[in-house]
Amino acid sequence: MMKKTETASNEAEPAAAPKLAAPESAGTKPAEPEIAGTKPAEPETAGTKPAEPETAGTKPAGLDARLPQWLGVAVIALSIVIVDQITKRVALANLDPGERIPLLGDLFGLQLVFNPGAAFSMGAGATRVITVFALVVCVVVIPWLLSRPVGRLTRIAFALIWGGAIGNVIDRLFFPPGKLAGHVVDFLAYADWFVGNIADIAIVGGVVLLLIQAFRAENTETSNKLATADTPGTGELETSSKLDNASVPTTDKTEEATAAHVSETSTERRETEGCR
């Protein structure tokens, strides 16, 4: 009977073999290539790097955005030059030098004058110097100023000055006696003050706009400073921070006094117990 029992137990042991679940857990290991298979997604992330040339490619957009501004300035300046030269030709064809035609009594009229100097007939003996200076302003100074980031009102002001300066420079280059000494044609007489032209009006208008812009900028800066000073809570924050900083030493002193009092009390108790 014992042998049969041992034989039966030996036969029963192989039946327990199916309990091994290791092959199932081991069967999950092939899933690792699937996880590893996601690694090729990294080139997609790296593939986004070529977007940088697109960002760099947007830089010329700044120039493209400023191109309409330049065109606007050029249109204003060119319009002034055209109107100025046309009106001067009309005055030369219809007015006699020195003759005055009143339009608003003695306040305003037409009078043909050849001006060898600058505005208000200043510098009549330095025509060539004035011509060279005007050329530098037209070719170098104003284009450089317009290349800088400025507001719309400032651009309009520079356009007016530019157009007026070019209009008078044309007279100095091509009108008699020539050789950078040409006389500017003036025909708009303002009372007994001075005689000017359309170019002069444009230059004066541009200067007035620049003064207005400077005044506005100064007022804006002043208002910003006042707004910063009047911002609610700024003074309160500074005051509270000062109070907090001042209260720190007081707290330390209070803690030291409390510790000293506790030590004195404990010493007195010990002395009392010793006496007992």
- How many of the other CB atoms lie within 10 Å of CB of 219? 10
Per-residue pLDDT of the chain (276 residues; tens, 9 = 90+): 444 444 444 444 544 444 544 445 444 555 555 545 455 555 555 555 555 544 444 444 555 666 777 888 999 999 999 999 999 999 999 999 988 999 998 899 999 999 887 766 666 667 778 888 888 988 888 888 877 888 889 999 999 999 999 999 999 999 888 778 889 999 999 988 889 999 999 999 999 999 999 998 887 777 777 777 666 655 555 555 555 555 445 455 556 666 776 666 666 666 666 655
Query: What per-residue confidence (pLDDT) applies to 4?
Result: 47
Rounded Cα distance, 180 and 18, in Å: 114
Please tell me the number of Cα atoms within 13 Å of 44 on its side-chain side.
Answer: 4
Query: What per-residue confidence (pLDDT) applies to 216?
Result: 87
Which positions are annotated as active-site residues? 186, 200
- How many of the other CB atoms lie within 10 Å of CB of 159? 24
Rounded Cα distance, 55 and 188, in Å: 55
Query: What per-residue confidence (pLDDT) applies to 57?
Result: 46
Rounded Cα distance, 221 and 138, in Å: 31
Query: What per-residue confidence (pLDDT) applies to 6?
Result: 47
Check: pTM over 0.75? Answer yes or no.
no
* Per-residue tokens: 159: 């356009």
